[in-house]
Amino acid sequence: MLSHEAEAYNLKVIFLPFLSTSHMIPMVDMARLFAMHGVDITIITTTSNAEIFQKSIDRDFNQGLSIKTHVVEFPAKEVGLPVGIEAMNANTSIDMADKIFKGFIMLQPQIENYLFGEIEVDCIISDMFYVWTVDVAAKLGIPRIVFCPASIFSRCTELSIEQHSSHTKVESDCDKFTIVGLPDKLEMNRLQLPNWVKKPDVPFGEMIKVVNNTTRKSYGAVFNSFYGLEGAYEEHYKNAFGTKCWSLGPVSLWANQDVSDKAERGDTNVEGDSSLFKWLNSKKENSVLYVSFGSMNKFPSSQLIEIAHALEVSSVDFIWVVRKSNDKEGEGFMEEFEKRVKESNKGYLIWGWAPQLLILENKAIGGIVTHCGWNTVVESLNVGLPMVTWPLFAEQFFHEKLVVEVLKIGVSLGIREWKNWNEFDTKDIVKRDDIAKAIGLVMTNRKEVEEMRLRAKNLSDDGKKAILVGGSSHANLIQIIEELKSLKHQRHYGN
């Protein structure tokens, strides 16, 4: 498992993941990859965030890797949160999210103390939101590499829109504009754009401006991607942002080769559910649809009811990862629905957190309904699944564009408008017939779907090759390590 590329120089790299599950998961995978290649790794986070991944780190450490977590204290009292609420996920209200972000900003002095302490640090790999690490790295005379949890494609698209303002040159929100200068000719409309792109003066827009500026000032950027997936955008990024750019994925496939790592990823309390896998193993190859909306989503009951009806009338079996809604509408409906689909052996509901990597790699899974969160897109690609795309917030409309129009491996549900996280209007409820139509299509063996499946399978093969010795992601990882060694040499010996 351990190679010795970095050992001779005893490189010490700090990883700083943001306090949200889906930023943390891929970044911890990435940190573990550096450790597997001989780099001494410290992941800095808060107590309850560390609990999400600590078991994997302990397993790596016990196998001889130089990897540990350094815990800093989240200022719960100061920001007015109960102890233990330190990460953004599906249970976080907007009010809590603001407080978590405030607490996140307050971590700076504690982390700075550590970084300027006794230890010698050779590089900081920082989540894009830790914007101040640019200055700290400059003071320490070491490189800062930025981690962005989205696709390279989405970063390039956002930058193009920021630079060319083509979205302001059309009359209505529904008019299409061209995204200038990308490797592919693509169009979007204003409804599909995140708030911070459309209205850069909203508070989060100000934050993204700082993220972009600090990204440009960084030594480079790392992404959970691979050359066969976004190679043209990896090259484009280097010119657009004027920094280095490395794809290091698929990180989930590369780092999590142990069943326990896969089962516990994102929630170490999820025990292997034997009835789930017994049920899945009883199903035919490619016959089950996986429906999940990531780590942050909580639909209102009215939307859950529409999804339930669509799944029940469809001819396919399904696993649906669902979160209890906070509203009272349709009370009892989901329980009845679960009972019916269990009795008919048609569906399996997972309330809360699913062992997604283990489910996706099961041969019975034949397609996915996804919100186009980047981790899930890459994880579905690892196993070559065609997708039904249902983007909601963040960069998800950009990812839909990539999946449906560039990679041509997905069927769009036709969602019209970007929304703030967990903000739903009754007019936004997607109707059962539209859902049923899209899932019916993606699970058939019609020619166009078979072609999608084949393209997804080819991408999956590319991803598997990328992480092997000689593959693009492997070569990128070795290149970063070599550059860090050489920079360390220059710091010590002057050339």
Interacting residues with ligand UDP (CB under 6 A): 22, 25, 265-266, 292, 294-296, 321, 353-354, 356, 373-376, 379
**Shortest Å, Cβ 375 to ligand UDP:** 3
**Shortest Å, Cβ 296 to ligand UDP:** 4
DSSP secondary structure string for all residues of 184-207 = S--EEEGGGS-HHHH-TTSHHHHH
Our CB check for ligand UDP shows the closer of 143 and 266 to be 266
**Shortest Å, Cβ 26 to ligand UDP:** 7
**Shortest Å, Cβ 276 to ligand UDP:** 12
Q: Cα separation of 324 and 298, whole Å?
A: 7
Under a CB-based contact definition with an 8 Å cutoff, are residues 44 and 112 in contact? no
Annotated active-site residue 425? The verdict is no
Our CB check for ligand UDP shows the closer of 376 and 472 to be 376
Q: For 185, list phi and psi in degrees, rounded to 5.
A: -85, 110
Annotated active-site residue 127? The verdict is yes
Q: Which residue is nearest to ligand UDP (CB)?
A: 373
Find how far residue 109's CA is from the centre of its chain: 28
Which H or E run includes 318?
strand 317-322
The residue among 157, 223, 244, 175 whose CA lies nearest residue 482 is: 244
Our CB check for ligand UDP shows the closer of 22 and 192 to be 22
Q: Cα separation of 165 and 319, whole Å?
A: 41
Our CB check for ligand UDP shows the closer of 81 and 88 to be 88
Among the options 40, 60, 122, 127, which is catalytic?
Answer: 127
Our CB check for ligand UDP shows the closer of 17 and 38 to be 17
Six-digit token string for 166? 């083509």
Beta-strand pair 176-178/187-189:
antiparallel
Among the options 23, 37, 167, 399, which is catalytic?
Answer: 23
**Shortest Å, Cβ 27 to ligand UDP:** 11
Per-residue buried b or exposed e for 336-375, using 16+ beta carbons within 10 Å of the residue's own CB: ebbeebeeeebbbbbeebbbbbbbbebebbbbbbbbbbbb
Our CB check for ligand UDP shows the closer of 314 and 376 to be 376
**Shortest Å, Cβ 150 to ligand UDP:** 8
Q: Cα separation of 202 and 248, whole Å?
A: 32
Catalytic positions: 23, 127
